[in-house]
Amino acid sequence: MDNLLELLVERIGEKRAEHSIRVMDTAVKLASHYSSDINKARIAGALHDCAKYRDKSYLLKRASDFGIILDKTMIINYQLIHGPLGAKVAEDEFGIEDEEILDAIRYHTTGRENMSLLDKIVYMADYIEPSRNFSGVELARQLAFKDLDESLIYAMNNTILDLIKTNKLIHLDTIKARNYLVSKKLYSSLNL
């Protein structure tokens, strides 16, 4: 783990590595709370931003080197690329082979339809880690430990509202993730 964090600082800088450690700690707490695999949460939390490079052209070059096919939204909102690229870098540079960890890294920004428990833990840990300081974060923190799916719907709704306010594209995976969770709640409330 120490080696992994050292390499992380080297790749994305100290500030982003500090955020990663906070996400790692929060992911471990959530995994413990929901009886999920703590070691996987630790690694996925630590590495979720392992490809969040500052330099746009380097980000694009690496994505191209790995043969990642960018969808229309990622071409414009290129910051989204660090998710799928992160999964490749975690495998290639950090030696991670576990598909569940790689998926949690891949989808930590957009979410996806039918998210795994680890996906959800990393997504929410990134959203609520202690230094996050936006309006509504306290409610998100409470929800995350009370009803993980509800906290994801809350976080995704806020994300969609922000994207609308700032006139940005909305990634289809975020809508698919939210629709899936909203449908699940609806069906469970109908006892289906």
What is the binding site for a copy of itself (CB under 8 A)?
72-73, 76, 157, 160-161, 164, 167-170, 172, 175-176, 178-179, 182-183, 186
Q: Supply the minimum distance, in Å, between the C-beta of residue 106 and a copy of itself.
A: 20
Question: What's CA 121's distance to the chain center, in Å?
Answer: 8
Rounded Cα gap, residues 141 and 156, in angstroms: 14
Q: Supply the minimum distance, in Å, between the C-beta of residue 79 and a copy of itself.
A: 15
Q: What Rg value do the Cα atoms of the chain yield, rounded?
A: 16
Q: Supply the minimum distance, in Å, between the C-beta of residue 84 and a copy of itself.
A: 18
Which of 142, 183 has the CB closer to a copy of itself? 183
DSSP state of 134: S
Nearest to 124 by CA among 8, 6, 33: 33
Amino acid at 9: V
Q: Supply the minimum distance, in Å, between the C-beta of residue 172 and a copy of itself.
A: 6
Which of 133, 167 has the CB closer to a copy of itself? 167
